[in-house]
Amino acid sequence: MFVPETGKGIIPRDAANHHSEVCHTILKRVLEKSSIKLSEIDVFAYSRGPGLPPCLKVGAVFARTLAIKYNKPLMDVNHPVAHIEIGKLTTGTKDPVVLYVSGGNTQILAFASGRYRTFGETLDIPIGNALDQLARTAGLPNPGGPNIEKAAVGGKYVELPYVVKGMDLSFA
């Protein structure tokens, strides 16, 4: 996982350079852990977005290179859907309603009629970005969320206005 220098947000080029540096090591580790060979893989997939374009490009080029080398199909996958499906796989959940929270997205999603549907989403800033900005302003290290939580333990509760319109959310 890429963690930026203290006090900095994620700079897309820095994150992409990190991904480029570690992709071969991660692939090797995954293959060893799963006891399979690259030649046994049926299809190579990559995240097409949404996300940070330089990072997505690293993944796409890496997957495309492997697909060409091993003469296998290449499939693009929606980034948030990939996170949801991995969560379902690791928890055994069959039909969840999902609160998808990432740096750039905050959405309420569920699978209906053969596809993921958005039932609500942030009207302004995604909660991940809001927490990171709050942490930087407060001088807390990155990632913001866990460090804000640590700082809040034993703190004083202050009620703030909260805007909700239907299932949409607002964090500004």
pLDDT in tens, 27-60: 999 999 999 999 999 999 999 888 889 999 999 9
Give SS3 for 102: coil
At residue 77, the pLDDT reads 92
pLDDT at 8: 63
Phi, psi of 140 (to 5 degrees): -90, 150
Report the alpha-carbon distance of residue 96 to residue 76 in Å, rounded: 23
Q: How far from the centroid of its chain's Cα atoms is residue 150's Cα?
A: 22
**Dihedral, CA atoms, 6, 9, 12, 18, nearest 10 degrees?**
20
**Residues in the chain, total:** 172
Q: What is the mean pLDDT of residues 8-13?
A: 78
Confidence at residue 27, expressed as pLDDT on a 0 to 100 scale: 96
Yes or no: say if 116 and 108 are a contact pair by the CB < 8 Å rule.
no
Assess whether pLDDT exceeds 70 at residue 83: yes
Phi, psi (degrees; rounded to nearest 5) at 80: -60, -40
| CB-CB neighbours of 138 under 10 Å | 11
pLDDT at residue 32, rounded to an integer = 96
Q: What was the pLDDT predicted at 50?
A: 83
Confidence (pLDDT) at 165: 66
Please give the domain boundaries of the chain with CATH numbers for all domains: 1-78 (3.30.420.40), 95-172 (3.30.420.40)
User: What integer pLDDT is reported at residue 6 of this predicted model?
Assistant: 60
pLDDT digits (tens, 9 = 90+) for 96-110: 999 888 777 888 899
Q: Is the pLDDT of residue 7 over 60?
A: no
* pLDDT tens digits, 107-162: 889 988 888 898 888 888 888 888 888 888 888 887 788 889 998 898 888 887 76
Determine the pLDDT at residue 20.
97
